[in-house]
Every structure is written in C-alpha cells, then in structure tokens.
A and B are shown apart, each in its own frame.
Chain A
C-alpha cells in the first residue's frame, strides 16, 4: 500500500515536472525550445551522482560491517545511477547538435561523464563474474571504492586538458544565473527525478534481497 502510494506520487511528480518544463518555464532567448531538455539533462546528472554516492557509502559500510544488505544497496544504487547517466549521455547530444552544431565533443565534462559510465559498467560487469556472494560483495566493494576515488581525478585531469561545456549556470559567479521560473522548474524536475531514483533503488534492493535469499535456499537444498 505504502509502496503503491509512493509510486503514484512519483508518477504525479514526474508528470508535473514534464508539464512545467514545457509550459511553465520560459523559452530561452538564444537556444529556443531545445533548451527545455535541460530540465531532464542536468537534474539527471546530479541524481546519478547522488546514486553513485550511495553506492560508495554502501561499499564502505560493507567492507567494515560485512552485512549483506549494504552489498544489495550498493548494486541497486549503481544500476539506477548507470541508468541516469545513460539518460544524461543521450539527452546531451540531442541538445548539443542544434546548439553547438555537433553531436559530441571530447570536452571535459562530457568525457568525464563518459568515463564515469564506463567505470560503473565495469563495476557491474565484475559482479556478474564472481559466483561466491561474499567474495563478490567484497571484491566489488573495493573496486567500487577505487572507482569512486577515481572520479575526481578523472574530472580534474580532463578539465586541465580541454573544456567546451558551458560553465555552471548555477552559482557560477557573476554574469551567470537563471530566470527564477527556470530555477523553480529545475527544482521540480530534480525532486521528481530524485524521488524516482529512490523508488527504483528500493525496488531493485528488494529484488536483490530476494535473490540473495533464493541463493541461500538453493545452497541449503544442495547441501542437504
């Protein structure tokens, strides 16, 4: 009941965020209608990062506490985060093509997002290749920690190397900033996408927990 209610709430919020980004937010002056993809693109990136942060914390907790639920949380958040990053990587070129005239450029933020995507694909791939649940949890937790520590290094190195992506529009210093209506729509989208992330991670966590229990039962049956 509670879960269904939450699902309904998430759907309503997403619907409202979509409506707001089309009809409430003003059309941007230079880029026109295409700029509205921003309300999906940027919040997805932040939400993905939140999900990877959850994975990192869960990895750390697993390493020190050794409770399976942290492993379940880590993989759930990593999968959902990967889905969000994929959304960012798809909406980015759709926006870039009419505005920059190219689909993709090897700029700092684009490239580091791409590397981030690859890192977490590797993380999930590693998990599929270790049978023993305890060993899988521990090895992937350490790799997850390595991957997360790598993220700022990747970002910094690529930033020194090249940059084309627009400077941050929020808190980016004088001369930057958004129309207040845009800010509100951005906030709606962020909250809606964040709630969706929480909902998906919860669902995925339950699935993983059931898988874990099924695995234990199978082992017991084999041993008996």
Chain B
C-alpha cells in the first residue's frame, strides 16, 4: 500500500515536470512524423504496400522514438542531483522505477495515439474499426518498451556517451517486442482483421518478466 502511495506521489512529480516544459512529448511527436514521412520515400505507399510494410514501420518509429524519449527520465535527475533526494524520500526504491515507468508509458501511449490518425491518413490504412484491439496491442507493446527501457535508462545514465549508449543497449533487448507487436498489428490491419491473442499474450509475458527483473534488481542501479 505504501508502495502505491509513494508511486502515486512520484508519478505526480514526473507528470508535473513534463507538463511544465512539454519538451518530451513535442519532440517525440515531431520525430515520429519525420520517420513516417521519410519512410514513405523507401517504398511505394499505396494501400496494399502500406498494409505490408506499415505495421513494421509504425513500430520501428515508436521504438526509435522511445529510445530517445526514455533518455531524460534519469538524466534529468542528474542535473541537480535530485535522484538522491528522491531516493532518500521514498521507502521503496521500486516506487521510483514504477513512477517513471508509468509516466513513460503514458507519454509514449499518448504520442502513439496522436500519431495513429496521421499514419492512417498518410498511408491509407483504415484503423478505426479495430481501434479497441489496436489499443490493447499498443498498450502491451509500449509497456514492454518502457519496462525494459526504464531499467536500461538507469544503467546508461551512469556511463559516458549515454545518449548513444541507450539505444545500443535497449534495441537488442526489445527485438522480441518489435516482432510480437508488429505481427499483432499486421494481423489487425489485414483485410480480415484478427486479434492475435498469442502475440498479445507473448507481450504480456515479456512485460511480466522484465517487471519482475526490475523489481528484483532495479534498486541496485540507484545505489550511490
């Protein structure tokens, strides 16, 4: 119970920091739009071609955007050494991870939902009729990205060249998420939409494994 309370307080803090500047969400949106536009040059964006390449493109864009977006969650704290203060104030270090994880997932989902109509219009792929199922896939995929990503951000924040290092550490870890989310999205955007519960279940398993790992080993990353 105390864990939830601390998490809620810290989550509030994360939200407030972001809402004051709004720099994370705006830069991420611009980045995704850029990727979506640039990708259109690499293949012929007709409706059939988009159905073939679209899901992979979308998830690659989300993955790269997330690897940029996750950077500041620990780096921000280093500027004024606020992490020590947060660590002293919270009884359970896992709460710090949970709060950052919840905030990151929320920001990522928000940008994804904003980007979905843009993608649908530009690439001629109707998404409205499958929106609830798609939201489920987006949620479980983004949670996977953020669970592993928050842990890796805490690791890379301690190194030199951290901006470059985070994607290098994170992207190979996330290859199962990329495969599962792309396959699930492709099945939803196909002519006969199906919700592939096996892939959604796989994503849930990934989320669970890394959440447990973060719970068990995350606190070691916050040590002085």
Contact = CB atoms under 8 A, between A and B. Distances in A.
* Bind each other: yes
Interface of A: 63, 115, 118-119, 122, 125-126, 129-131, 135, 138-139, 141-143, 145-147, 149-150, 153-154, 156-158, 160-161
B169 A122 contact: yes
Contacts of A154: 175-176
B202 interface: yes
Interface residues of B, number: 32
A135 B217 contact: no
A158 B177 CA distance: 11
Nearest to A162: B179
Contacts of A149: 209-210, 213
A131 B168 CA distance: 18
Interface string B157-186: 011110001001100110110011001000
A126 B202 contact: no
B172 A118 contact: yes
B173 A157 contact: no
Given A142-B220, A153-B209, A125 B168 contact: yes
Contacts, number: 81
What is the predominant secondary structure among interface residues of chain A facing chain B? Answer: helix
Interface centre among A63, A153, A158, A160 (most CB of B within 10 A): A153
Given A63-B220, A149-B213, A157 B159 contact: no
Contact of A122 (B148, B172, B209, B217): B172
Contacts of A156: 176, 202
Given A122-B168, A138-B220, 10 more contacts: A63-B217, A118-B172, A126-B159, A138-B221, A139-B221, A142-B217, A146-B213, A149-B210, A160-B199, A161-B183
B155 A126 contact: yes
B151 interface: yes
A122 B160 CA distance: 14
Contacts of A135: 158
A129 B209 contact: no
Contact of B173 (A63, A131, A147, A158): A147
Nearest to A143: B155
What is the predominant secondary structure among interface residues of chain B facing chain A? Answer: helix
Nearest to B217: A142
B206 interface: yes
B198 interface: yes
A126 B169 contact: yes
A57 B120 CA distance: 47
A157 B175 contact: yes
Interface in B58-117: none
A39 to B, nearest CB: 29
A130 B159 contact: yes
A139 B159 contact: yes
Nearest to B169: A122
A127 to B, nearest CB: 9
Contacts of B137: none
Contacts of B209: 149, 153
A139 to B, nearest CB: 5
A90 B165 CA distance: 27
A138 B221 CA distance: 7
Nearest to A127: B159
B175 A146 contact: no
